Amino acid sequence: MDEVNRSAAFGRPTAPLNAPPVRKPLGSKWTVIVLTLSVGFLVVVIGLWQARAHRGSAKPPELPPSLAAVSNSAPSPAELSRSFREVIHTVKDAVVFINVVETVDQSDAPQNFFGLPLPKGPQQREGAGSGFVATEDGYILTNNHVIRNASKIEVTLVDGRKYKAEVIGKDPATDIAVIHINTSGLPVARLGNSDDVQQGDWVLALGSPFGLQQTITAGIISATGRELGASQYNKYIQTDAPINPGNSGGPLVNMQGEVIGINTLIYTGGQSFLGQGGNIGIGFAIASNAVRDVFDKLVRTGKVSRGYLGVQVVPLDEARAHAAGLEPGSAVFVSGVPDPNSPAGKAGIRAGDVITAFNGQKVKAPRELTDLVAATPVGSKARVEFLRDGQTQSATVELVERPEDVIAQRVNPPDDNGDNDDQPQGGQQQGRLGVYAQTVTPDMASRLKLQTQSGALVLQVAPGSAAARAGILHGDVIHKVDRTEVTSSEELAKAISELAPGQYQIEVERKGRKVYPVITLE
């Protein structure tokens, strides 16, 4: 009894010692595990059933704002077609076909393909182009090259009516012309803001390619602000909308029906059997903002007057900038002053100067100087700031009207077989530069009529040398290499030997004028 009572006192079972063993129920630990697995299984089954039931109503993941905007704004083919039709309906009636008769002089014409002589004297030939009505009372915009030599101009409207046209004014520098027909109440093409044009914008080109009137082609803006050799005043809009001969003078319009350019140039990949180049996806239009300004001046005065300075300038590249002690692209380099009676010539500006500002405005590129000078009224005075031999200088110039026949000039070097009577014999070899040079004496300087009375006279240029590649010729007198003055052949050799590999500007006097070639040393 004592043992039994002791067990009871400690909370243990009080069964007799000889009683059979009793099976205990499953412990609480295993019970929890089983219940947990059961509940988890039920949750998974229910989740799968709900996912299947609601699969059709689930929302897709949201696109980033930028991607969503692109996706939502992309028109369908049908919507794009409707947009094109609306634009065409807005502009088409203002587009005209221009037929011209030109008078050409064949007095000096050669024989034709079959070896037969061509008719002599003035002859007439026909040409064609496009244009668009700018005002209700008959003023029409087109290209200068369409009507340039025309003795007769006929304009055909969209409804087939034909009118004789007179030239109001033309501007060869931008290839823009204005003609007029005597009628009123015409549909007008509205000029837009070409500064708003961006790459990728849809555009339509309208005109009469190959004489096929009222032709419309579509494409996008490939590039803006193109500067081409065709004009130093235009910044062209490039497009892949097909433009062909006959499209010249026609409008390039945006999707609001606004004219953002005049079709004027194409690049061709070859010649067709008609002898005219075809479109290869690269066409150019004169920006409408330039057109607007020229149109106003031509209608008012019949011509466009632009200020003229009279300098030839090139970008300030690394070699020329180093010689001037400036950063590349921080100014423009005067490569020549062709006319001593030009405003620049009279003011003492000369080749080798580096122009930094015009009328207080910084100049960093040739185009910037051109635009500033052209925009300055003829007859007004302007201040030109420049560097010469490292010293800051300025000059006041009185601008004149730009001559019509001014074109970019290339100064041809003297003939290698020119007069060398004043060339002394003997000299010093400049191996790295590739010239054979001799020190200029006072007597030589007098006979050669040098502006600078010292230097190294080039007697011979090695073929394929650095000097030959830079265009240095025998008879040239080298006065400076980079920033180092050269007064003898020995100084020339020393200056060249101290230069690291790279490009350097040198100052050369050639037949009474200074030129500034750039040499590349290895």
Active site residues: 145, 175, 248
Sorted by sequence, the CB contacts under 8 Å of residue 387 that are 6+ apart come out as: 324, 325, 326, 331, 353, 354, 356, 393
Q: What angle do CA 470, 476, 481 make, to 5 degrees?
A: 60
Residue-level length of the chain: 522
Torsions phi, psi of 447, nearest 5?
A: -70, -35
- Confirm if 155 and 179 have CB atoms less than 8 A apart: yes
Give 211-258 as a 3 state SS string: HCCCEEEEEEEEEEEECCCCCCCCCEEEECCCCCCCCCCCEEECCCCC
DSSP 282-318: EEEEEEHHHHHHHHHHHHHHSS---EE---EEEE--H
* Closest alpha carbon to 475 in 509, 517, 442, 513: 509
* Closest alpha carbon to 234 in 333, 129, 371, 362: 371
- Confirm if 471 and 413 have CB atoms less than 8 A apart: yes
- Confirm if 413 and 473 have CB atoms less than 8 A apart: yes
Distance of CA 15 to the CA centre of its chain: 108
Partners of residue 253 on adjacent β-strands: 204, 259
Beta strands of 134-188 (E only): which ranges? 139-143, 150-156, 162-171, 176-181
Can you tell me whether residue 25 is helix, strand or coil? coil
Distance of CA 78 to the CA centre of its chain: 35
User: Cα–Cα distance between 135 and 368 in angstroms, integer?
Assistant: 32
Helix (H) / strand (E) element for 8: namely helix 2-9
* 295 class by beta-carbon count within 10 Å (0-12 exposed, 13-18 middle, 19+ buried): buried
User: Cα–Cα distance between 128 and 246 in angstroms, integer?
Assistant: 6
